[in-house]
């Protein structure tokens, strides 16, 4: 990147929206020597940091610890108040001064009449559960972390000399942004280039209007002070699946309403089927091919009526049916910016809109609702606006992750896409249950799947279903990004034992089939 001539008057880049697509763009513009102003109403980081990605993933991380803690007895970890089974031959616990103990949770795995009797005497698994959720404390921490992340972003922008205007931004023609400030006044900003990073808001249903107490969008979940006794989740896409899995792990009775044949209908079929099986095995009720028609409050909860007339009763309902681009009422169309029928800003691969000098990034464009994509769009946009050479956005190399337990990470071509375009490919799937490191960690559910060209051996894509799949997908992302072959991947050293060893093993399986 080449900064602008310091002797010239620097161009003014105005960024409307302080989410990943906005603040990342602002930093790039400043590094090019531009004068930069960010107009943000909600707070730096936008919805991604304050109400969406950071809070939800923090909540999910808490739920993950609950899952780990409750499965500890399977690994031989006991607590002093576990059920005593004098007939068992389990190791003596040092913590109890030599008294052998066993958890009721471990009874089915250990077997034996004595253990079963001890478990029965102890009561149900729920009664015996050692860990309980203080949801008010959880949400307090979730929101505190979000605010801290937002403050970190603000501090970084201010250190770089970027001006931040707290207000709602709208266009007044192609070269002016009006910032509506909290005190009711306005400030007009003249811009050489404008980046629209407007984000999206939760889609709501007219028959299930959120009230913030019992009928909720995902941005309102962090206001809950107590764990929902029975949470009905409407929508089995990424957001619905993530929240359903998290609250199931935290201890809520969860009902997931899916209008399709399976959860996560847009994801790898094998991965989605595995996750649905895990959900069911953990006690979640999954209502497939069921569409919610309405949701209303009752005296002590909610009633969700399905399109076939069935009524589902719960304490709370989360409506997770997608997002709506936050593009209305901001003067976009009046300035000549073309919108799609769904209200998304239409952009090309370098984030240009239909108006010269106006760019857009993130969820408001409808390209791909990922923070990483928003940030890349923003960086490309301002670099292009300031005359730098840029590489157009390539979605084929975008890695994505669903933060369920286990996580589902994907990159490159999907199996469905390869089949739809009649591409020739070879594939292999390795269950994690065979991986030695997975066995040590007690991981039973998950797999690594790779796709490659049958003759050239180039890695076309991959799927990882595992705890921390978001970390494991990176070597496959590198392979897809740099067009590595399965031989390249197979010949690289991996740690033994490691989960990533399954990626190399899968590459070796495919390498043996290349050219055959």
pLDDT digits (tens, 9 = 90+) for 13-29: 999 999 999 999 999 99
Half-sphere exposure of 213 (CA within 13 A, CB side): 8
- Which whole number is the average pLDDT over 245-256? 97
- Three-class SS of residue 163? strand
| Token representation of residue 377 | 């769009």
- Whole-number Å distance between alpha carbons of 285 and 13: 50
Rounded to 5 degrees, φ, ψ at 391 are -95, 120
- Whole-number Å distance between alpha carbons of 119 and 104: 4
pLDDT (0 to 100) of residue 72? 81
pLDDT (0 to 100) of residue 7? 54
- Three-class SS of residue 464? strand
Angle of CA points 465, 58, 327, to nearest 5°: 95
DSSP run (H or E) holding 509: helix 501-511
- Which whole number is the average pLDDT over 33-40? 98
- Whole-number Å distance between alpha carbons of 361 and 346: 10
Q: Which residue is it, tokens 């959900």?
A: 279
pLDDT (0 to 100) of residue 85? 55
pLDDT band at 66 (very low <50, low <70, confident <90, very high): confident
| Token representation of residue 482 | 């740099």
pLDDT beyond 50 at 163? yes
pLDDT beyond 50 at 256? yes
Render pLDDT for 384-436 as a digit per residue (tens, 0 to 9).
999 999 999 999 999 999 999 999 999 999 999 999 999 999 999 999 999 99
Rg (CA), the chain: 26
pLDDT (0 to 100) of residue 87? 52
Mean pLDDT across the chain, nearest whole number? 90
- Which whole number is the average pLDDT over 262-279? 96
pTM of the model: 0.88
Render pLDDT for 98-140 as a digit per residue (tens, 0 to 9).
333 222 222 223 333 333 333 333 344 444 456 788 999 999 9
Q: Which residue has the higher pLDDT, 382 or 66?
A: 382
Rounded to 5 degrees, φ, ψ at 6 are -65, -20
- Whole-number Å distance between alpha carbons of 220 and 316: 12
Q: Distance from CA of residue 438 to its chain's centroid?
A: 23
Q: Which residues pair with 400 in a beta bridge?
A: 410
Which of 48, 49, 40 lies closest to 163 in space, CA to CA? 40
- Whole-number Å distance between alpha carbons of 12 and 128: 63
pLDDT band at 5 (very low <50, low <70, confident <90, very high): low
pLDDT beyond 80 at 94? no
pLDDT beyond 90 at 82? no
Lowest mean pLDDT among 93-97, 131-135, 428-432, 445-449: 93-97
- Which whole number is the average pLDDT over 60-76? 86
Render pLDDT for 341-365 as a digit per residue (tens, 0 to 9).
999 999 999 999 999 999 999 999 9
Q: Which residue has the higher pLDDT, 31 or 126?
A: 31
Angle of CA points 315, 320, 322, to nearest 5°: 165
DSSP secondary structure string, 203-251?
--BTTB---SSSEE-GGGGGG-SS--SEEEEE--SHHHHHHHHHHHHHT
pLDDT band at 71 (very low <50, low <70, confident <90, very high): confident
pLDDT (0 to 100) of residue 130? 61
pLDDT (0 to 100) of residue 211? 96
- Which whole number is the average pLDDT over 287-311? 96
Q: Which residues pair with 426 in a beta bridge?
A: 452
- Which whole number is the average pLDDT over 468-482? 97
pLDDT (0 to 100) of residue 2? 47
pLDDT above 70 covers a percentage of the chain that reads 89
Kindly state the greatest CA–CA separation across the chain. Answer: 86
- Which whole number is the average pLDDT over 78-92? 55
Lowest mean pLDDT among 73-77, 264-268, 400-404, 464-468: 73-77
- Whole-number Å distance between alpha carbons of 128 and 393: 52
pLDDT band at 70 (very low <50, low <70, confident <90, very high): confident
């Amino acid at each position: 990147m080449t900064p602008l001539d310091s002797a010239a008057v620097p161009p003014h880049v105005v960024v409307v929206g302080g989410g990943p697509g906005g603040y990342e763009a602002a930093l790039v513009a400043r590094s090019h020597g531009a004068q930069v102003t960010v107009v943000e109403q909600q707070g730096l980081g936008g919805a991604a940091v304050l109400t969406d990605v950071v809070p939800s993933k923090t909540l999910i991380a808490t739920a993950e610890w609950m899952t780990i803690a409750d499965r500890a007895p399977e690994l031989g970890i006991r607590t002093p108040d576990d059920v005593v089974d004098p007939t068992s031959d389990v190791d003596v616990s040092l913590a109890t001064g030599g008294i052998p103990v066993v958890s009721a949770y471990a009874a089915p795995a250990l077997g034996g009449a004595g253990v079963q009797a001890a478990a029965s005497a102890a009561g149900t698994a729920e009664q015996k559960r050692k860990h309980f959720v203080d949801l008010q404390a959880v949400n307090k921490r979730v929101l505190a972390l979000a605010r801290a992340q937002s403050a970190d972003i603000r501090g970084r922008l201010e250190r770089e000399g970027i001006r931040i205007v707290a207000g709602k931004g709208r266009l007044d023609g192609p070269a002016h942004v009006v910032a509506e400030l909290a005190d009711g006044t306005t400030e007009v900003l003249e811009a050489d280039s404008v980046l629209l990073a407007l984000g999206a808001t939760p889609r709501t249903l007219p028959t299930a209007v959120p009230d913030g107490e019992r009928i909720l969008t995902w941005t309102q979940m962090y206001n809950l002070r107590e764990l929902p006794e029975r949470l009905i989740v409407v929508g089995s896409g990424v957001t619905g699946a993530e929240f359903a899995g998290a609250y199931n792990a935290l201890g809520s009775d969860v009902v997931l309403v899916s209008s399709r044949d399976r959860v996560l209908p847009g994801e790898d079929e094998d991965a989605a089927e595995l996750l649905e099986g895990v959900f069911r095995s953990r006690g979640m009720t999954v209502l497939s091919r069921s569409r919610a028609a309405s949701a209303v409050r009752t005296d002590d909860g909610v009633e969700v009526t399905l399109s076939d007339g069935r009524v589902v009763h719960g304490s709370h309902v989360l409506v997770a049916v997608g997002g709506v681009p936050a593009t209305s009422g901001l003067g976009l169309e009046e300035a000549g910016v073309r919108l799609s029928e769904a209200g998304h800003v239409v952009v090309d691969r370098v984030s240009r809109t239909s108006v010269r000098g106006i760019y857009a990034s993130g969820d408001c464009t409808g390209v791909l609702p990922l923070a990483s994509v928003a940030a890349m769009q923003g960086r490309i946009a301002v670099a292009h606006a300031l005359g730098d050479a840029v590489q157009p956005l390539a979605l084929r190399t975008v890695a994505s992750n669903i933060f369920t337990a286990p996580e589902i990470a994907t990159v490159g071509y999907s199996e469905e896409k390869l089949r739809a375009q009649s591409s020739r490919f070879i594939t292999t799937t390795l269950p994690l249950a065979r991986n030695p490191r997975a066995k040590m960690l007690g991981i039973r559910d998950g797999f690594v799947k790779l796709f490659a060209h049958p003759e050239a051996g180039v890695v076309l894509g991959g799927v990882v279903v595992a705890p921390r799949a978001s970390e494991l997908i990176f070597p496959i992302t590198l392979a897809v990004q740099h067009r590595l072959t399965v031989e390249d991947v197979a010949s690289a050293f991996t740690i033994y034992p490691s989960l990533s060893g399954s990626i190399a093993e899968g590459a070796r399986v495919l390498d043996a089939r290349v050219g055959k």
